[in-house]
Amino acid sequence: MSVTPRFKIIVHDLVAIALAWMLALFARFNFALPPPQHLHAGELALPVVLVVQAALAWRFGLYRGLWRFASLQDLWNIIRAAVLGTVCIGLSLFLISRLVNIPRSMFVLYPLFLVALLGGPRLAFRLWKDHSFNLRSVTAATRVLVVGGGEGGEGVVRDMLRDGSYLPVGIVDDDARLARSRIHGVPVLGRIADIPAIVQRRDTDIIIIAIPSASSAQMRHIVELCEASGKPFRTLPQLHDMVSGRATMNAMREVKIDDLLGRDKVVLDWQRVQSSLAGKVVLVSGGGGSIGSELCRQVVALGVERLVVFEQSEHNLYLIERELRGAFPLRQLEFVLGDVCDRAAVEHVFQRFKPALVLHAAAYKHVPILQSQAREAVRNNVFGTLEMVEAAERHGSATFVLISTDKAVRPSSIMGATKRLTELLCETRKRRAATRYITVRFGNVLGSAGSVVPLFQSQIAAGGPLTVTHPEARRYFMTIAEASQLILQAATVGSGGEIFVLDMGEPVNITYLAEQMIRLSGREPGVDIKIEYTGLRPGEKLNEELFLDAEKLTPTPHHKIRLAQHVEVEPRQLADLLSALARAVETFDEAAIERLLRQAVPDLEVVQPGSNEAANVIAFNRGAP
Q: What is the CB-side half-sphere exposure of residue 378 using CA atoms within 13 A?
A: 28
Q: Is 430 a catalytic residue?
A: no
Using the Cα atoms of residue 396, residue 564, residue 542 and residue 448 in order, give the sign of their dihedral: negative
Number of H helices, E strands in the chain: 22, 21
| Cα–Cα distance for residue pair 489/500, rounded to 1 Å | 11
Compute the CA torsion angle 344, 347, 349, 351 (nearest 10 deg): -130
- What's the one-letter identity of residue 55? A
CA dihedral 229, 234, 239, 243 (to 10 degrees): -170
- Which position among 407, 430, 541, 560 bears the catalytic label? 407
Q: Which helix (H) or strand (E) holds 439?
A: strand 436-442
Given a contact cutoff of 8 angstroms between Cβ atoms, the answer to whether 134 and 108 are in contact is no
d(CA 105, CA 264): 58
CB atoms within 10 A of CB 423: 24
Distance CA 341, CA 360 (A): 13
Cis peptide before 471 (omega within 30 of 0): no
Where would I find the beta strands (DSSP E) of 287-331? 306-311
Q: Which residues does 483 contact at the CB level (< 8 Å), separation at least 6?
A: 291, 294, 442, 445, 502
**CA–CA separation, 574 vs 385, rounded Å?**
14
Strands across the sheet containing 166-172: 182-183, 186-190, 166-172, 142-147, 206-209, 233-235
Q: Which residues are catalytic?
A: 407
